[in-house]
Amino acid sequence: MVTISQIAAEAKVSSALVSRVLNNKSGVSPENREKILAIIKKHNYVPNAIARSLVTQKTATIGVVIGTICDSFFFDFFDGIQDMAETLDYNVVFCSGRNNADIKAKYVDYFAQGRVDGIIAYGSRYQDLFFDILERFPFFVTVEGDLPGKDFNKVLVDNLDGAYRATTYLIEQGYQTIFHFTGDMDYSVSLERLDGFKKAMQDHGLSIDNAIITADFEEELAYKRMKKLIAKNKHPQACFAGADKGAFGIIRALTEAGLSTPGDVAVIGFDGDVPNSRDMVFPRLTTMRQPLFEMGKEAVRLLVRTIETPGIKPITTTFDTELVLGETT
């Protein structure tokens, strides 16, 4: 690949002059500017970003790491990130952990080697390695991820409140027995949603005995758990799933057992994960929606703020969830 010195040599000028032309700076005579531009064009010369970054200490890039890129849940989040990044003049690159904590940590480390100006990391499994790696890097934001006592930029969702409202909504609809299918208990968001559920039940004088079903964020386990409950004839009047995928599993178990929703069992989810083929999905799920687009935007905003304002204190922004009524309650 052709370099700046080769361009300079061919133009019989110093590389400093070429650099000035590249960066549209003054201090170049019109004749030289024209000559240099012609040679640049002739060779399709593009300055090497690596070399440039080394001296400017800037990559103009934000790195995003998520658990897996193969999850439509993130679509709005991605779009929010890119939207704000474009207005703030940053490029965005995404890395996927392929549902593997080690790979995710590897990519956080990859970014933290100075390849980007800032990192956005999504995830709330607080024991995960990637938090440690993140903390060695000066500019980052975690989304959904919190660590007790640690002070960094965070974009959070008020899971406790959301779960409380979801549960309260079910109670107000008149359901008496309500089960909560938790998310993976390794994740702090699962614990928060569980707490919200418990609090709502207690505040309304309802029992939570046997009401907590340990599941995860995937469809399969919730499906199995619900299937077993139905078999034992111990299913509740309503289910609050800690994640939309779990809710879909519950509905599948119901459907297979010949039970209807919300007729026999009401189901509410959590996430606002709108499947890609929205119109083909039946029935539409009632869920607590997270404002993922706004969260993406906010993550970039916080990140760029700390990157460009030396010494500024980190911030936590917490978003509220929104009840989206579907056809399952």
Partner DNA sequence: TTTCTATTGTAAATCGATTTAACATATGAT
Partner DNA sequence: ATCATATGTTAAATCGATTTACAATAGAAA
The least CB distance from residue 51 to DNA, in Å, is 3
Q: Which of 24, 31, 148, 232 binds DNA (CB under 7 A)?
A: 31
211 to 230: interface string for a copy of itself, x by CB under 8 A: --------x-----------
DSSP 26: S
DSSP 176: -
23 to 62: interface string for a copy of itself, x by CB under 8 A: ---------------------x-xxxxxx-xx----x---
- Residue span binding a copy of itself (CB under 8 A) among the ranges 192-200, 259-267, 270-278, 293-301: 270-278
Burial status of residue 106 (CB atoms within 10 A of its CB: 0-12, 13-18, 19 or more): middle
Paired tokens of 216: 């995860």
Residue 23 binding target from a copy of itself, DNA, none, CB below 5 to 8 Å by type: DNA
Report the 10 Å Cβ neighbour count for 185.
13
Closest CA to 151 of 163, 161, 160, 142: 142
> Torsion over CA of 270, 127, 199 and 294, rounded to 10 degrees?
-40
Paired tokens of 276: 């890609």
Q: Which of 25, 42, 136, 228 binds a copy of itself (CB under 8 A)?
A: 136
Dihedral sign for Cα atoms in the order 166, 218, 250, 294: positive
- Residue span binding DNA (CB under 7 A) among the ranges 24-32, 202-210, 247-255, 261-269: 24-32
Binding status of residue 94 toward a copy of itself by CB under 8 A: yes
Q: Which of 10, 22, 119, 266 binds DNA (CB under 7 A)?
A: 22
Residue 279 binding target from a copy of itself, DNA, none, CB below 5 to 8 Å by type: a copy of itself
